[in-house]
Amino acid sequence: DSGVTQTPKHLITATGQRVTLRCSPRSGDLSVYWYQQSLDQGLQFLIHYYNGEERAKGNILERFSAQQFPDLHSELNLSSLELGDSALYFCASSFEGADNTEAFFGQGTRLTVV
């Protein structure tokens, strides 16, 4: 158990809908990262938050947004969903930036868009 909790584990929704994925980082970790992993694809970096502030952005679609709340949990919002958004979405946390310390990953949310 990494200590990072993601909910829900599975989500099935229709095209055009909006969903929210939730991540609770390990106790004491200030950084939260979001990644997308499509079938047979690598981990694609989406966004990084540190202590409530956005620190780095990857190729995140405009239809996607995220935030980190004062209690350090984070939410990833995906809207106007398309079939191609079906993927595993991972959240990871680390104490500071993940360059010099390990990142701990949650078990992911599997999103299926039908």
Partner 1 sequence: SQKIEQNSEALNIQEGKTATLTCNYTNYSPAYLQWYRQDPGRGPVFLLLIRENEKEKRKERLKVTFDTTLKQSLFHITASQPADSATYLCALTSDSWGKLQFGAGTQVVVTP
Tokens (6 digits) for 40 = 């047979």
Nearest distance in Å: CB 96, partner 1 = 8
Choose the stretch contacting partner 1; rule: CB under 8 A; options: 19-27, 53-61, 66-74, 75-83: 53-61
Nearest residue to 34 via CA among 1, 3, 65 = 65
Residue 1: CB partners within 8 Å, gap ≥ 6?
Answer: none
Q: Rounded to a whole number, what is the distance in angstroms from the first to the last CA of the chain?
A: 31
Number of H helices, E strands in the chain: 0, 11
Part in contact with partner 1 (CB under 8 A); list of ranges 19-27, 65-73, 79-87, 92-100: 92-100
Least Å distance, CB 79 to partner 1, is 23
Interacting residue ranges for partner 1, rule: CB under 8 A: 2, 4, 31, 33, 35, 41-43, 45, 48, 50, 55-58, 88, 90, 92, 97-108, 110
